[in-house]
Structures are given as C-alpha cells and as structure tokens.
A and B are shown apart, each in its own frame.
Chain A
Amino acid sequence: MKKFTIIVHVIAWAAALIWIIPFLGVFMASIRPYTEVQSGWWNFQSFHPTLENFYDAWIGKTAGPSAALSTALVHSLIVTVPATFIPVFVAALAAYSFARFSFRTKDLLFLTLVLLQTIPQQMVILPIYNLMNSLGLLNSYVGLILLHTAFGLPWQILFLRNFFSTLPIEVEEAARVDGASYFKIFYKIVLPMSLPALASILSLQFVWVWNDFFFALTLIQNPNMRLATQTVPVIKGRYEPNWSILSAASIMAMIVPVAIYVALQRYYVRGITAGAVKG
C-alpha cells in the first residue's frame, strides 16, 4: 500500500510538471533579454534578469503606441468593472423577486439560459453588430458593457434565484412583522446572507468579461481603443514574435483574472461547478 501511495505521488507531480513548466517558461522569458530566450529559456549559461520587457510591452515598443499595454489594460478595466457590477446588481434584485414573489417566468428564464449556453456567439453577433452600428455604439465601451450585461444577466439570475430559495424565509418574515420594508429586508438581511453567492458570480463575471476576446474583437475595431486581450495578439504579430516582450505582455494581461482567482478561489470554483455556467 505504501508503495502504491508513492507511485501515485510521483505520477501526480510528473503530470503537474506539464502545466508548471510552460508557466515557468513564460515567467523566465519575460524577465530575460530576448537574445537569451531565443534558443530556449531553459538555458542558463548567461542569465541577466531585467524588467525591460515589461516596460517595452507597457509602452508598446514593438508594435507601435496603439499596442501599448498600459492603455489597453485601462480600457479593459473601463469595460470590465461596470460590466461586472451592473449585471450582478440587476440580477440580485431580479432573482430576489423571482425567488420570493411568484412569477410565472421561471421556466421561460431557464429556457433562455439553456439557449444562451447552447447557441454559439457567432449566431448572434452579426445582428448585434448591426444594432450597435445603428445605435452609434460601435467602437464604444458602452456597447460592449451592454452586451456583456445582457449575456451575464440570465445565468446570474438563475444562480442567485436558486441561492435565495435556500435562505430561511423565517428571518425575513420576522423582519416584515417588525415593519421593515421589502427593500430594507433585501439589503439589510438578504444581501449580507448572500455574500458567498455574490462573490461567486462577481468573480466569474469579472473574469469572463476581462477574458472575452470575440465580442471585443467585433465591436471595438478602432486600434486606439483595443482591450488587453486584443492587444496581446497585435504585439505577437504574425511571424517570429519576440517571446520576451510577448511573455511580459501575456503576464500583465493575465495577472488581473489570476489575482481574482487566487483571492476568491473557493467562490470562483463553486460558481463553475454549481451547474458549470460559463463556457
């Protein structure tokens, strides 16, 4: 039995290396001059750590100022923060009414959710593009935020509705007897009890919006307005990428969702596994 355990440990850590080494490689490439990385970051005959790659990616040295990651990251934040908090706020109110007041929308909502997951984005993007065009919302972060809000709402409402249904209704009834208004009950009692569920959908939606590439690519076509996920491929170019600068750019573009994940890991994973809402 002891031997078996050791074998399992060895296999597990060997498998883990398949994921650890490439991430280590990106880190190593990002902190070393490209000349040292060109023939393999695992060669350490000469080793000169530097932050220059991060600076070059930050100011967009290789692909021009429109590919400066500093502005792209700001753009990503401008989109992601409202596109996270607006839908979650609306979803919380809507889900509470669905859970506590009887509407005949439950089935309809569920159907929409299933369809939203099944229908590829490609199937809806062209009419949305035309719509945004006629509203003057192309190359506008407002349009992108609206789109992410619309796509976030259904699964968030469903997720929260399920959660609210598990909360004991007696507390709310007691508050009601004491004369608290519905809104007061909602934000004084229900919301504090729902913090874990809110943390789940906030972290999921934030990472989803930040990581989105397809919607941004189609709706933001002005080179000076690109988000971070659009900028990294531009830095990459088509041929012979500078892997040092590109690694530094990749790290800066992924550090925000990774930080969210590390900080809220428990809630993030719970959100994914509770019905695996997002693909």
Chain B
Amino acid sequence: MVFVFYPVVDTIYMSFLEKGTGKFVGFENYADVVGRNEFLNVKRLENFLGGPSYGALIHNILWVVIHLPLCVFFGLLLAVLLRDVKGGTIIKSIVFLGMVIPMIIGGVLLRFILDKDAGILNGVLNAIGLGAFTRDWTFYPDTALITAILGSAWIWVGFSMIVYSAGLEGIPVELYEAAKIDGASWWKTFWRITVPMLKPATIVVVTMTLLWELKIFDIVYAVTQGGPGDASKVLAYIMYIDAFQAWNFGTASAIAVILTIMTFGFAAYLVSRMAKS
C-alpha cells in the first residue's frame, strides 16, 4: 500500500512544483509539457507542417489504435489455427518467446530485423522482387513509429494467443458436437460458439494489452530512441528524458499524471463498453 498510494499522491504533488526551487507553480508544468511539439504537434495536425512528428500523445493513441486490434485478431487467429495443427504446441512456444525474453532484447531484435543491410525484412523484400521498397526503416520519420508499433505487435501477439488458447480449452466439447449435429458450418460455429465463449479471455487480452501499450517504453528505447527527431517519442519516453536527463521532476510528474489519466480513461471506456455488450 505504501508503495502505491504514497508515490501516486507525491507524484501529483510534485507535478505542481517548480524544478530546483520546489516552489508551488500551479499548472505551469502542465502548460510547459502540453505546449511542446514533442508532446502535441498542433501544426502537424492542422496542416501537415511543423515537422513530421505528431507528438507523443498522438503516438500513444496510434499505438493503441493499431496495436490493439492486431494483437486481438492475430492472437485469436493463431490460437484457433494452432489448436488442431500438428506441432501446434511447438509453434505456440516459439510465438510466446516474445513474452519470455526481456522486452528490451525484443526491441534490439526488432531493430535487427529492420536494419538496412543486415535485416531480414529488407532481405525478404529483395527476394520477392520488392527491392525498391527496402530502406533503413527506423531511420525515417514516416516509418520509424509504424514499424516500431508493428514490431511490438510481433512481440505481444504471444500473450493474446496464449490467453485465447487457455480460453479455448475451457469451451465444453459438447457445444461443438451439438453444433455439428445441427449441421452448423465451421464459420457459423466460430461466430456463434467460439467468439461468445471467449469473451472473458477477450476482456483480459484487451485490458492487459491496453495497459502495456500506454506505458510502452522499452521498445521505443531500443528501436528508435524516440527518433528521428520526435518522430517516435511516446509519453513514457519523454517522461524518462525529462526526469533523468533534464532532471526536471516537475514536468516529468506532469507527464506521468497525464499518462495515468489516459490509462484510466481508456480502461474505463473499454470496461463500460464490454460490460454493456
């Protein structure tokens, strides 16, 4: 309890204090953070000017919007596919490796995959005749963020897959047998039995994935260091730089508070939506 409530309250308190002096400055730290281009690049959003970055806030939202559906979809797909496949258990173990190795090493692996000459992605593109598209994926502002997001899905799908697999095991075989007797097609069985029965698993997958996406740090640190420029900065990353390189605990706390409010906002929205349906 001490390790949760005291720090949370203290972080909120610190977000109102000035760097160095510790003077109470109201919402000045928040104004400082929100006014920055690396946090929210207003010009870019208005008319695609002012540098290629949208700002960390938007990057975090993009992470959720792209990464979450991918992980749910491919996790479910792999779980269903691999249930009946010979060697499925081995494949599952390999896919799940992404969740076992340190996330920071996962990031290093992604950087290797995306490397210009040594990376397998460009190797594959060359091999299938798409050599014109090869590039140093993490070095360009327009691809750094999206490749980091897709790469993080590559790492995280193991999680949703394993949760869905456990969910599948919990579905009584009788349901499928009954559906078979009734002459239901595979597709119909999937939508009428499998998906509804997996709802608890989906809730776990969605909430855990969401919490992970919003505080994403290791991957960005290893793959792009937030660059080039601000192109792939996320809230947790600028918070770390503010705190431990600029040593400004005031603005860093403000970012942490914003990040936490976002987390609760997203979580509350999803939970209420899922409770309804």
How near does chain A come to B103, taking the closest CB pair, in angstroms? Answer: 6
Q: Which residues of A contact B118 (CB under 8 A)?
A: 29, 37-41, 243
What sequence of 0s and 1s flags, for each residue 93-137 of chain B, a beta carbon within 8 Å of any chain A beta carbon? 111111111111100110111010110100100000000000000
B102 and A211: CB pair below 8 A? yes
Please judge, given known A-B contacts A16-B94, A41-B118, whether A214 and B217 are in contact too, CB under 8 Å: yes
A23 and B94: CB pair below 8 A? yes
Q: Which residues of A contact B211 (CB under 8 A)?
A: 117-118, 120, 279
B218 and A214: CB pair below 8 A? yes
What sequence of 0s and 1s flags, for each residue 221-254 of chain B, a beta carbon within 8 Å of any chain A beta carbon? 1100100000000011001100110000100110
Which interface residue of A117, A123, A236 has the most chain B CB atoms within 10 A? A123
Report which of B100, B112, B256, B267 forms a contact with A118, defined as CB distance below 8 A.
B267
Number of residues from B at the complex interface, CB < 8 A:
76
How near does chain A come to B51, taking the closest CB pair, in angstroms? Answer: 21
Please judge, given known A-B contacts A213-B221, A247-B112, A253-B102, whether A12 and B88 are in contact too, CB under 8 Å: yes
- B205 (CB) vs chain A CBs: closest residue: A276
How near does chain B come to A215, taking the closest CB pair, in angstroms? Answer: 11
Number of residues from A at the complex interface, CB < 8 A:
78
A265 to B92, CA, bound (A): 11
Q: DSSP class of B's interface residues: helix, strand, loop or mixed?
A: helix
How near does chain A come to B246, taking the closest CB pair, in angstroms? Answer: 13
Instruction: Answer yes or no: B263 CB below 8 A from chain A CBs.
Output: yes
B94 and A213: CB pair below 8 A? no
Please judge, given known A-B contacts A26-B112, A250-B108, A257-B102, whether A19 and B260 are in contact too, CB under 8 Å: no
Q: Which residues of B contact A195 (CB under 8 A)?
A: none
Q: Which residues of A contact B205 (CB under 8 A)?
A: 276
Instruction: Answer yes or no: B175 CB below 8 A from chain A CBs.
Output: no
A214 to B154, CA, bound (A): 21
Q: Which residues of B contact A116 (CB under 8 A)?
A: 4
A276 and B253: CB pair below 8 A? no
Binds A, one of B5-13, B32-40, B64-72: B5-13
B10 and A127: CB pair below 8 A? yes
A112 to B11, CA, bound (A): 17
A50 to B267, CA, bound (A): 50
Q: Which residues of A contact B2 (CB under 8 A)?
A: 150
Instruction: Answer yes or no: A171 CB below 8 A from chain B CBs.
Output: no
- A221 (CB) vs chain B CBs: closest residue: B244
A240 to B214, CA, bound (A): 29
A71 to B120, CA, bound (A): 31
Instruction: Answer yes or no: A126 CB below 8 A from chain B CBs.
Output: yes
A212 to B103, CA, bound (A): 8
Q: Which residues of B contact A85 (CB under 8 A)?
A: none
A128 and B7: CB pair below 8 A? yes
How near does chain A come to B220, taking the closest CB pair, in angstroms? Answer: 11
Q: Which residues of A contact B44 (CB under 8 A)?
A: none
Instruction: Answer yes or no: B145 CB below 8 A from chain A CBs.
Output: no
What sequence of 0s and 1s flags, for each residue 199-228 of chain B, a beta carbon within 8 Å of any chain A beta carbon? 000001100100110110110011001000
CB interface residues, B 138-189, toward A, < 8 Å: 154, 159, 162-163, 166
B97 and A19: CB pair below 8 A? yes
Please judge, given known A-B contacts A12-B82, A118-B267, A258-B100, whether A232 and B112 are in contact too, CB under 8 Å: no
B101 and A254: CB pair below 8 A? yes
A126 and B253: CB pair below 8 A? yes
Instruction: Answer yes or no: B275 CB below 8 A from chain A CBs.
Output: no
Instruction: Answer yes or no: B273 CB below 8 A from chain A CBs.
Output: no
A210 to B249, CA, bound (A): 27
A37 to B221, CA, bound (A): 24
A254 to B155, CA, bound (A): 14
Instruction: Answer yes or no: B31 CB below 8 A from chain A CBs.
Output: no
A275 to B212, CA, bound (A): 15
Which interface residue of B108, B225, B267 has the most chain A CB atoms within 10 A? B108
Instruction: Answer yes or no: A222 CB below 8 A from chain B CBs.
Output: no
Please judge, given known A-B contacts A29-B112, A39-B117, A213-B218, whether A126 and B11 are in contact too, CB under 8 Å: yes
A16 and B253: CB pair below 8 A? no
Instruction: Answer yes or no: B3 CB below 8 A from chain A CBs.
Output: yes
Further contacts, 16 of them, CB under 8 A, given A22-B109, A269-B166: A8-B81, A13-B87, A15-B91, A16-B91, A39-B118, A115-B4, A122-B240, A122-B260, A127-B10, A211-B103, A214-B217, A229-B104, A243-B118, A250-B109, A254-B101, A261-B96
Shortest beta-carbon contacts, A-B, top 10 = A124-B7, A211-B102, A127-B10, A273-B166, A127-B7, A120-B215, A254-B101, A150-B3, A16-B91, A12-B85
